[in-house]
Amino acid sequence: MTRRSLLLAAPAAGALANNQRIGIGFLGVKYTHGPGKLALCRKSPDWDVVGLWEPDAAAASQFGGPALSRDEILKHPRIQVIAVQSDIKTHGELGIAALEAGKHVHVEKPPADNMAELRKMVELARSKKRLLQMGYMWRHHPGMHAIFEAVHQGWLGDVYMIRGQMNTLVESRSRVEWARFNGGQMFEQGCHVIDAMVRLMGKPAKITPFLRHDGNFADSLADNTAAVFEWARCLGVITHSVLQPNSGAHRMFEVMGTNGTATLRPIEGPAKLEFDLAKPAGRYAKGRQEVKLRPYSRFVDDFDELARCVRTGEPLNVTLEQELLVQEAMLTASRMV
């Protein structure tokens, strides 16, 4: 998809002055990446944290408040953007409510545990001309950007295989929470890799999931999972488990083409990107080479993009059509459709 088509496909937002701080409210804070995003917004000159809501009022005060009710967040005239950082089960409900209230929305991943709620959010974002941004954390990763560029420019040749892995090791409480969803680890964290793969390759022709419970735990969590994605001339194979110690060093995203391979491993901590090409292509030489990446911190670029687009009325880089494709693929790989 070209930059021009991205601009035409996405909704516009109401423009603001460049030096105007943007009022933001949080519906939910303590779940997943909420505390980190709240801290980022408090430090940033772009954002004015107007209020927080948690079902447990003590939790909101724990994060420094100001603690507001859900309705106060939705109706507050100074709040232009709402960040939904609640329990996954309520992402769709709260995202819909925020868009119905006329707010721009950032919603934590996965944005819903079904298609209907995301379709409703997309419909509202379009009709109300509001921004809808998902919290997939590697959309601005410089290593991912370099791989996407190489694929789009044809530098890797014809892509025939993509591999990804997002493992972790979790405590009992998280296992119980994630076991509520049939997809388990595929749904809860594997969605980050599915997001990158589907945005890179488009709608898969077929997805075959493997959702196993192999850990020695008295729960039903799908803790050892894989999925095979099929396109006309390409396979994607992803594996996601919650059983691996020291898992961060092994998280990876790799694209293989007829002119070579790009491997991002590890994805964070710090990231390492290597190209191995049969022939020189673009800015890359023949053979193996490590690509120097700019420093990357989660969430920073996402909220920079969101602030810029709220101010200027520009669209987000990921279109609403792409969001629907990612959601459908993620739910299919999780056996939740």
Domain count, the chain: 2
Q: CB 87: neighbour CB atoms within 10 A?
A: 15
In a domain, 185, yes or no: yes
Instruction: Render 190-212 in DSSP notation, one character per residue.
Output: THHHHHHHHHHH-S-SEEEEEEE
pTM for this model (two decimals)? 0.93
**Residue 17's pLDDT band (boundaries 50, 70, 90)?**
low
First to last CA, the chain: 27
Are both 131 and 146 inside the same structural domain?
A: no
Decide if 227 is inside a domain.
yes
| Residue pLDDT, tens place only, 135-147 | 999 999 999 999 9
The predicted model gives 31-41 an average pLDDT of 94
147 and 76, same domain (yes or no)? no
- Whole-number Å distance between alpha carbons of 219 and 198: 31
64-98 pLDDT, tens digit each: 889 999 999 999 999 999 999 999 999 999 999 99
Residue pLDDT, tens place only, 157-181: 999 999 999 999 998 888 999 999 9
Q: Which domain holds residue 116?
A: 3-137+301-317
CB contact set of 265 (below 8 Å; sequence gap of 6+): 250, 251, 252, 253, 254, 272, 274
Pick the closest to residue 323 from 92, 186, 164, 133 (CA basis). 133
CA distance 207 to 10: 27
pLDDT band at 59 (very low <50, low <70, confident <90, very high): confident
Query: For the domain that residue 153 is a member of, what is the CATH number?
Result: 3.30.360.10
Residue 131 placed within a domain: yes
The answer, yes or no, to whether residue 21 has pLDDT greater than 50, is: yes
Angle between helices 191-201 and 142-153 (to 10 degrees): 30
Cβ atoms of residues 52 and 38 within 8 Å: yes
Residues 66 and 155 in one domain: no
> CA 256, CA 260: separation in Å to the nearest integer?
6
Residue 322 lies in a domain: no
CATH number of residue 95's parent domain? 3.40.50.720
Q: Is the pLDDT of residue 5 over 80?
A: no
| Same domain as 245, residue 157 | yes
Confidence of residue 12 (pLDDT cuts 50, 70, 90): very low
Whether 150 and 271 share a structural domain: yes
Q: Give CA–CA dist 19/31, Å, rounded.
A: 31
Q: Which residues contact 145 (CB under 8 A, 6 or more apart)?
A: none
| Mean pLDDT for the chain overall | 93
Residue-level pLDDT at 57: 75
Tell whether 276 and 196 lie within a shared domain. Answer: yes
- 201-257: per-residue pLDDT in tens? 999 999 999 999 999 999 999 999 999 999 999 999 999 999 999 999 999 999 999
